[in-house]
Structure formats: C-alpha cells, structure tokens
A and B are shown apart, each in its own frame.
Chain A
Amino acid sequence: MKELSNLKKIEKRLYFSYANDGLADIVMGLWMILAGFFMLIEQTAFMGLSGLPVLFYIPVKKRVIIPRMGDVSFSKNRKKKISSTLMISIIAGAVLLLFLVFHFKYESGEQLIRANLHVVFGLLIAILFSFVALFTTITRFYLYAILSILLFSINKLIVNSVPLTQLIFGAVVFITGIIYLVHFLINNPVSGGLVDEN
C-alpha cells in the first residue's frame, strides 16, 4: 500500500531500470576519452568529433537493449525531463568545448592559464555528469561527478596533465559502463519468441 501511494517512486524505478544498462556510461566515457585524446594530440579543431558517440546511443538502445528488456513510453513529464537533460548536456558540452578550444588557443600566451584551471575543468565535467544523474536517476553519475572533481584537483600530483587526467576519467566511466552492459546482457538474454507472445 505504501508503494501504491507513491506512484512516482514506481515511475522512477521503472525509468531507472530502463536507463541502467550501462549505455549512458559508455557514451559519456567515450566522449571523455575522445576529448582527452584530441587534447593530448593537440588537435582541438577535432574536439567536436568527441561528441560523436552520443549519436550511437539511440540506435544501440533500439538494436541491443529494447529486444532484451522491452520498450516503454514514459509520461509527458518524464519526457520533458529527458529533453531538458539532453538540452542541458548539449549546452554544457558546448561550453566545455569552447572552454577547451579557448584554453588551448591561448595557452602559449598564458593569458587564460591560472593556477586552478584544472579544477575549473573538473567542475565543468562534474556539472555535466550531475545533470545526467539528476534527470536519468542513475545515481552513480554523481559519483562520476565527484571523481571528476577529485581527479582534476589532484591532477598535478598524479600525471600533471589535463588531457591524461581526462583520459583516465573517461576510461573509468567507460569501463564501468561496459561492466553494467555485460551484467545487463547476461541477466536479460534474448530468447526465441520472447519479443511478443501476447
């Protein structure tokens, strides 16, 4: 009865189980890895390409996830939340991109380099991941946000390189995503005729 009186919790749980397949982690992880890679090879002009994995999210969801767990259409409120997440992520991504391009463009002149620039960078990523966590209900994205701040804060003690820290962070997110995806695939096999039997 308690659960019945709190239908929002049921909706949240359904959405969580729909989104918790590791794909979001893989996409975000790849995005971070590619961004780190382009920074590392100092090809900031290609930074826009780092967002390409996002384009694969829906096709992979349709081909790999939906045949295993089924499809669902959420309420208008939930859809609004999803579209605002996407919009905020895109805006945050664009800000991050501009920040990076600007930073690398003027790096030689040291116009924008400040002692705590790497922390600002970590914070920007943390904000992006927090938004994803807020609207997808996947709480581990908050952990990624904390990890981002931590890694970029102690960056100088570990590798002393923003691109390498970015690569490490992306790899952690990506590998976590792979683990969740494998777990999902094992627990939700496609068996013959299961797609529709009613």
Chain B
Amino acid sequence: MKTEESLSEKIQSITEIDKLIHEPARLMIMAYLYVVESADFLFIMRQTGLTKGNLSSHLSKLEAGGLIDIKKEFVGKIPRTFLSLSQYGRTEFENYQRQMRQFLENI
C-alpha cells in the first residue's frame, strides 16, 4: 500500500516540472546552451532550425524567467547577441532532467 502511494507521489511530481523549460523548442535551446559556455544567436538558430522570430520569442521568455543571460556586443562593426545559461538556469535544467528521468522511470 505504501509503495503504491509513494509511486503515485513520484508520478504526480510531474506536475511540478518547470513548464518554461518543458516546451520542446525552449528545451532544445536549454540543452544546447547547457553544453557550451556561450553561443551567439545565429549559431543557436542554425542548430535548432528555428526561425528568427520564433527563436527571439523563446529567448525572451527564457531571459524573463532568469534562465539565460543575453549580452549584446559589437564584434568589429557587427552587432552580435551572445547567449549563455545563467547559474539559475543551469541548476533548473539539471532539476528538470532529474524530475523527467524520475517520472519516466516510474511509468
């Protein structure tokens, strides 16, 4: 009986998952940024296959959630946007991974 309850709790924990990360496009962006120190807008756009507008909108949401840092710099005369995971974003991504793995192991 106890085992069943604990299993049920584990399955219910999926409701606590960070929905900001859970969206597929944002999850993809987070995964890419997790494995690098930083990347520019164009690089992430090429890798994810998202359109400019779509990527821009997802990045704004991730930035508003404090998950990523966006820095605008000039390289020569060209403006470039550099993206990186914030410390909070890194921790949240690791939590997300753990929660998802736990959930999938239990179903």
Contact = CB atoms under 8 A, between A and B. Distances in A.
Interface stretch (A66-74, A102-110, A124-132, A148-156): A66-74
B8 interface: no
A10 B31 contact: yes
Interface string B52-81: 100110010000000000101001001111
Interface string A1-31: 1011101101100100110000000000000
B20 interface: no
Given A4-B100, A7-B34, A196-B78, A72 B41 contact: no
A195 B80 contact: yes
Interface in A143-198: 188, 194-198
Contacts of B11: none
B35 A14 contact: yes
Q: Which among A14, A76, A188 has the greatest number of chain B C-beta atoms within 10 A? A: A14
Interface string B28-51: 000110111111111111110000
B46 A69 contact: yes
B100 A196 contact: no
Contact of A73 (B37, B75, B78): B37
A71 B46 contact: no
Contacts of A116: none
B97 to A, nearest CB: 6
A14 B56 contact: no
Contacts of B36: 11, 14, 72-75
A169 B52 CA distance: 42
B104 interface: yes
Interface of B: 27, 31-32, 34-47, 52, 55-56, 59, 70, 72, 75, 78-81, 97, 100-101, 104
